[in-house]
Amino acid sequence: MALLQISEPGGEAARPAHRLAVGIDLGTTNSLVAASCGDKVEILPDDKGRHLVPSVVHYSEDGSVQVGHEARARAAADPSNTIASVKRWLGKSQQEIRQSSQASRYQFDETRADTAPAIITAAGSRDPVQISADILSALRDQAESCLKGKLEGAVITVPAYFNDSQRQQTKDAAELAGIKVLRLLNEPTAAAVAYGLDTEDQGAVVVFDLGGGTFDVSLLSMRQGVFEVLATGGDTNLGGDDFDQAIFDWLQGGFAAKATAIAEQVELRTYAEKIKQQLSADDEVAVEWSEYSGKLDREEFRALVKPLVDKTILTCRRVLRDAGMEPGQIDNIVMVGGATRMPVIREAVAEFFGKQPLVSIDPDKAVAIGAGLQADVLIGNKSAGKFLLLDVNPLSLGIETMGELVEKIIPRNTTIPVAKAQEFTTFKDGQTAMSIHVVQGERELVSDCRSLARFELRGIPPMVAGAAKIRVTFQVDADGLLSVVAEELSTGKKSEIQIKPSYGLNADTIETMLQSSHEHAKQDMEIRAQREAQVEAQQIIDAINAARESDGHLLQPGESERIDAAIERLKQAIQGASSIEIHEQTEKLNRLSADFAARRMDLHIKSLQGESINAIESAEE
């Protein structure tokens, strides 16, 4: 037996080298990077001791790039070359980006309108992935300077409601920045990690995450070290920026001389943000702009932002409904994101849930700390046995079946990572190929869901309809990215695709999809029953017609005419009758053709008499 020497006799046990990995909170307004330093995770500062890095990039004519505080300082003087809040643009089309409140200051590259939307800067065209990569590069440099070594990996956080395209573009940006992504981690889950390891609280926890540009609410079960997301909801176009915009609009409406120049608007928007921040500490703020003066108090501010606050509470209500829970069943509410410092938000959350939220961890830092803890585990510095993270997919995933129906393979709010498979078959005799249409959504019809991708499986052996077995496997990884594999089981022929949609869903579309699924549930089930009846009826018609072509000589006088009449009545029912009526006509056709089917069966049984089982099997092979 071989011996493995662990250490010299009497010597100290060798310590494994500490590997360098960080957690990155890539935020809309500000970003942070955190790493394990000794026994705890800390936010890493820049060379001036600042922890928050503004998610702002400035491009100069000489090709130089500035990120963070230096870039934000250039915003008023050079707004068209200073890009902020780019996280909101990941996975979006140029049309969607143009609709954002800050898009008017930029010039878009029309040559890339149909591919990756891009902004023309002094340094050339830059798309959201490239701009995000510049921010991530600055965070990587900051981390390597603090840690005095090269990074081996990072956990990057994303909003829970980021879809496949937005997640993939986040990974693409990291790769462009030279960062190995250990995992994309949902921001609310990261916050739960930070709080779950620092406190003894267990049970149902709501993570209320209102950042600069995105909003998420997640309901988690935290029991015995397992963090499981039970339900999630949110808005990728709601955040602190929108509260700034409300004050900006109020300022514009209250002064005779409006800020019209882009530079003035940038300066006024920055001033609006300062007013918002001051209102978190003071009941009233004196407003001075140019030669005009006034004041804004908390009550007036509360009225200005009431529609935004109501949106956040409505999302909380929907998340609880999805999980079948009431506000009183929630044990703790964790506040995450700089915008949750606003008293108007904390008061609304406390009123809705009937208890005060937890704010013991700096809301700006909680997500980065959680990501840093997870990075330390994934890189191998700490045991993964201390906690387990279980996220969920926000929308159902499935494929199109006959009748333009959706067969859901992975339902909404399924814990990920996950792999699920279902078997399907061919619709027509001799069918040798199958088109796989992958869709996302909650409705029963393909037209009411979102198309993700299409691909084909070829090489299916020609068989009678329904004989082939095609297994379709859906796999969602820990980052929420989807791969689909279709396999014909008898031959092992495979076809697969990685789902990377061109553009993401905006928040309004996501909300509409979920709401419409509830509003049209009864109607959708009726339509599904009708479509399934139509498909079944057409299969029977095709089967009877094929049987008459091969064995028409077995028909009795007048029988063919009666079957023709029944088929015609069934075809008319297929055109728009209810599922009940279609089933009635289908049964009538079955009864009329039953004798013909029996004669065909007798004929084929007689043709097999006297043959051995081995001979029959050989013939089938």
Which residues are the active-site residues?
25, 87, 187, 209
Of 445, 56, 564, 125, residue with least CA distance to 269: 56
> CB count, 10 Å around CB of 225?
12
Sign of CA dihedral 45, 48, 52, 58: negative
CB 460 within 8 A of CB 493: yes
3-class DSSP state for residue 181?
strand
Can you tell me the distance from the alpha carbon of 543 to that of 549, in angstroms, rounded to the nearest whole number? 10
CA angle 563, 569, 571 (to 5 degrees): 100
- Residue 37: partners with Cβ closer than 8 Å, 6 or more residues away: none
3-class DSSP state for residue 38?
coil
Can you tell me the distance from the alpha carbon of 491 to that of 506, in angstroms, rounded to the nearest whole number? 42
**Which secondary-structure segment (H or E) carries 439?**
strand 433-440
Q: How far is CA 441 from the centre of its chain?
A: 11
Of 263, 353, 218, residue with least CA distance to 75: 263
Total length of the chain: 621
CB 308 within 8 A of CB 238: yes
366-378 and 187-198 helices cross at what angle (nearest 10)?
Answer: 80
Residue 146 amino acid letter: C
CB 386 within 8 A of CB 198: no
Tokens 């961890």 belong to 361
Tokens 């921040």 belong to 277
Cis peptide bond prior to 417, omega within 30° of 0: yes
**Which secondary-structure segment (H or E) carries 134?**
helix 128-147
* Residues linked to residue 399 through DSSP beta bridges, in sequence order: 407, 438
CB 446 within 8 A of CB 437: yes
Can you tell me the distance from the alpha carbon of 476 to that of 419, in angstroms, rounded to the nearest whole number? 6
Tokens 């109020």 belong to 250
Tokens 């009726």 belong to 526
3-class DSSP state for residue 521?
helix
Sign of CA dihedral 22, 46, 29, 339: positive
Of 81, 83, 84, 54, residue with least CA distance to 70: 54
